[in-house]
Amino acid sequence: MNKSDNVHPNIEIIHASLEQKQILANLLELYSHDFCEFIDLEIGLDGRFGYRELDLYWTDPDRLPFLLYVDNRLAGFVLIKTCHRDGVDLTVWDIPEFFILRGYRGRGVGTAAAHQVWRRFPGPWEVRVMATNERAYRFWHRAIKNFAGDDFLVARFTQSGKDWHRFSFESRPDA
């Protein structure tokens, strides 16, 4: 798709049904391939990376899978889940995985999709980005700033020997 095509595309985010699980699994293969640039992922003997937590998105009530369409064409996915903080009666929304097909990148599709998700699920949000993934950091920083203004925090942390950034912000029902 040409970047100049359809300057204001129709972006639709739909809850992925169990029947659409294979579509999401296929997109996760492309996502995993892209992610090999930042972490050492091993491809299986079957030629697939796999995503071991995929089934949980249809069995765990704290996880939700979504497919993203642009002008009725498949363009990506977003996986979200809720995290419950120990000792605090607070549920935080989290985006473990977010993927836009390359042909749709750089056109505002990812930002518009993220904003739709945040408006759809008001409350506190976190988005984590590997420190080595500078392109993703710039994307999320810009998307969150555009959504929340200056009302967000960025913190660095280390998990499993990898450095990360965590964006924290609030989505209000009237956003």
Paired with 165 in beta bridges are 129, 156
In this structure, are residues 83 and 128 in contact, taking their beta carbons and an 8 Å threshold?
Answer: no
Q: Which of 93, 67, 99 shows the shortest CA–CA distance to 80?
A: 93
pLDDT at 17: 97
Residue 148 lies in a domain: yes
What is the reported pLDDT for 172? 87
* Residue 6 belongs to a domain: no
pLDDT of residue 44: 63
Q: What's the whole-model pTM score?
A: 0.86
Residue-number span of the structural domain to which 164 is assigned: 11-171
Indicate which CATH number applies to the domain containing 28.
3.40.630.30
Q: Does 70 reside within a domain?
A: yes
What's the average pLDDT block by block, 10 residues per block, for the chain (175 residues)? 58 97 92 65 67 91 96 96 75 93 92 96 94 92 96 92 93 77
Q: Is residue 3 part of a domain?
A: no
pLDDT value for 90: 76
**Rounded Cα–Cα distance for residues 127 and 141 (Å):** 10
In a domain, 4, yes or no: no
Residue 157 CB partners (closer than 8 Å, separation 6+): 163, 164, 166
Total tally of structural domains belonging to the chain: 1
| Domain contains 2 | no
Cα–Cα distances (Å) from 67 to 20, 24, 64, 136, 150, in that order, read: 9, 7, 10, 19, 29
Residue 40 counted as domain residue: yes
Residue 152 lies in a domain: yes
